[in-house]
Amino acid sequence: MDETETLRFQNLIEARLAELDIEDARGLQGQSTVVLDQQAVGRLSRQDALLNQSMAKATQARRDGLRRALLAALDRLKEEEFGYCNECGDEIAPKRLELDPTATRCISCARG
């Protein structure tokens, strides 16, 4: 991988990390503690609020996992290991890396 491609993938990964930061900021309100004031809200509304909170926390967990994978991809990029399959050592197709820069296996190894 030449320097131009390395810089392109670094910019792609950093852009996706920035998007995650924006999504995190938007998702904070949904994760806040649900107040169970029985006088102000009906039973179904409370259940709906709890469900929304649960979904917001699950979405945050997904973003946290993706963030870890993107940071690991940045580390591989710095160590010049980015773009190579962890199993067979072959190059991972650039199109695959554009779609998913966290990919650590080539198509052949991913298919099993």
pLDDT at 41: 58
Distances (CA, A) of 41 to 34, 37, 38, 52: 11, 6, 6, 15
Predicted local distance difference test score (pLDDT) of residue 36: 58
Reading the block at residue 72, the tokens are: 């690991």
Sequence length of the chain is: 112
pLDDT for position 52:
84
Residues 41-97 have pLDDT tens digits of 566 777 887 888 888 889 999 999 999 999 999 999 999 999 999 999 999 999 999
Cβ neighbours of residue 52 closer than 8 Å, sequence gap 6 or more: 30
**Which burial class, exposed, middle or buried, applies to 97 when counting CB atoms under 10 A from its CB (0-12, 13-18, 19+)?**
buried
What does the pLDDT read at residue 42?
65
pLDDT at 40 exceeding the cut of 60: no
Indicate which CATH number applies to the domain containing 58: 1.20.120.910
| Domain count within the chain | 1
Max CA pair span of the chain: 64
- Its domain, for residue 91, covers 3-111
